[in-house]
Amino acid sequence: MNKKKELGEIPPVFPNGWFALMESNDLAKNSSKFIQALGENFAVFRDADGEVHVLDAYCPHLGANLAIGGKVRGNCIECPFHGWLFDGNSGQCTSIPYSSSKPPVQAKVKSWPCAESLGFIMVWYHAEAEEPFWQPPQIKGVSDGEFSFCGRSEHYISTHIQDLPENGSDVAHLNVLHTAGIPAGPRLVDLHGFLSKIFTHSWTASWKQGDPSHTSTVALTHTGKVLNWRVPFMDIISNIEQKGPGIVILRFDSLFGLGQGVLVQTVTPVEPLMQRMVHRFYFSNPWLKIVGKIFLYGENVQVS
């Protein structure tokens, strides 16, 4: 090993972009949650009007956690220790209950740009603290509630977040690693066993850098075979969009001829080398949610 090798410029630990902190339906009005991710401590709360706010969690007075035991009052959160009140938009302390003086300007917590998108509460993270220069996506069918929510899944993956978008563009591995169908199960050792031959996948895919540069797309075609016989209704064409490092959207124009599907994937670094990946699946046909559930299960086998 060349010990004289220069390290060069080391990039920031976490990349810039929008990242899911939690799912929208896990945060009721007038409630708060403490979330640790991206090397930060977040107090996430929803006010009575339904608007979400994200502040640094620890109170600048004596360090209590605003999200644990703090009360939501209007668009502010009240510290559970001495009752100082912090504005959810600016992070400024607006009132100290036992003082008639105006709170000092330095009584302030950092407030984070946040948004709700596709069933998730997202925060904008930028290593140099720049303001958002793109917004998290809204999608017809999902954002307007027209499609039915079919289920969710969650994986913790021990890797750097950069490996995941790079894996998405690595189309060469699809016909090596992702050929075995659901019967083979998620274990790598079963990939070439008898059960892996019952139902098989084959893929064609092409990756393209997007414009703007935080995006990319993969055009993916899937063919399904049962005992080596092609089953035409299992042909699936999907369009996959990467939006920054933390969001991926897979759209299926026709899932087994039964409806349109959207799989939303978010990836959030909970530590530098530990990622939380969440999938939520939406299907246009409300009578056949079971199709969405089976599809999500198959997706989970592939992820595992």
Amino acid at 165: P
- Candidates 61, 73, 108, 289: give the one binding ligand FES (CB under 6 A): 61
Q: Which is nearer to ligand FES, 70 or 244 (CB)?
A: 70
125 binds ligand FES (CB under 6 A): no
Distances (CA, A) of 254 to 107, 168, 181, 221, 241: 54, 21, 19, 12, 17
Residue 90 dihedral angles phi and psi, to the nearest 5° = -100, -20
Stretch that binds ligand FES, among 44-52, 76-84, 98-106, 294-302 (CB under 6 A): 76-84
d(CA 164, CA 159): 8
Q: How many residues does the chain have?
A: 304
Nearest approach, Cβ of 63 to ligand FES (angstroms)?
Answer: 6
Stretch that binds ligand FES, among 10-18, 56-64, 204-212, 261-269 (CB under 6 A): 56-64
Token look-up 């799912």 returns 23
Q: Are 26 and 33 in contact (CB under 8 A)?
A: yes
Residue 296 dihedral angles phi and psi, to the nearest 5° = -65, -40
34 binds ligand FES (CB under 6 A): no
Stretch that binds ligand FES, among 48-56, 79-87, 202-210, 245-253 (CB under 6 A): 79-87
Q: Which is nearer to ligand FES, 62 or 237 (CB)?
A: 62
Instruction: Write out the binding residues for ligand FES, residues 80-99 only, by CB under 6 A.
Output: 81-82, 84
77 binds ligand FES (CB under 6 A): no
d(CA 66, CA 82): 11
Contact residues for ligand FES, defined by CB under 6 A: 59, 61-64, 79, 81-82, 84
